Amino acid sequence: MPGITEPKDLIVRARAGDTLAWGDLYREYAPAIFRFCRRAMPTKEDAEDATMEIFMKLREKLAQYDPSRSFSAWLYKVAANHCWDMLRRRKARHDKDTEDIEGLPLEAPDPNQLERLIEERTGEEVRKAMTKLGSRARMALVMRYYSDMSYDEIADALGVRRPFVGVVLLRARHELRQALLENNALAVGGTR
């Protein structure tokens, strides 16, 4: 959330139980957290639920926040962990989320090619393609490319070793590219 100054005064007041400060924190950060959740979760309703739950959780977790660090980065990490927990609880992981790494095709798409493919699509087309990904792949992409989280933060949130994050992202980019190409083929095939 670039451009937003750190809300140190709001945090101090919110920690002291000031309800107006809580309201201000919510108004300032909820829209960005909702956008994050909307990319991570399968439906708009899930994203709305997740956003509300994250801010309810924030009341308990605010005491753990280290004021010497970026509040927005910390809040995104709380949101990422919550969404990932929600996805894990909601449904069993797909086989492709837990398959052996050896079966992974390593002919990764050129990142520029994937970026061009995404730029050519509407937000709705990208969102639809993202829903076809397994939950781990979707969360990894959202954390890395929409929230700019580091590999260490992603590894922590997903509960995997840091070296595995690159493999998860590689697989996720490959799956997203395939989903976008499939959606495109269906759209072209359906207009004949």
Query: Same domain, yes or no, for 85 and 101?
Result: no
Read off the amino acid at residue 126.
V
Which CATH number belongs to the domain containing residue 166 in this structure?
Answer: 1.10.10.10
Q: Is residue 1 part of a domain?
A: no
pLDDT of residue 107: 43
What is residue 119's DSSP assignment?
A: H
d(CA 123, CA 119): 9
Mapping DSSP onto H, E and C, the string for 76-87 reads HHHHHHHHHHHH
Residues of the chain with pLDDT under 70: 1-6, 90-120, 122, 185-192
d(CA 170, CA 109): 9
Summarize pLDDT for 38-87 with one digit per residue, the tens: 888 888 888 898 999 999 888 888 888 888 888 888 898 899 888 888 88
Who's near 179: CB < 8 A, 6+ residues apart? 129, 130, 132, 133
Q: Out of 71, 90, 109, pick the residue that ends a domain.
A: 90
Query: Same domain, yes or no, for 179 and 104?
Result: yes
Q: Is residue 3 part of a domain?
A: no
Q: Say how many domains are in the chain.
A: 2
pTM tops 0.75, yes or no: no
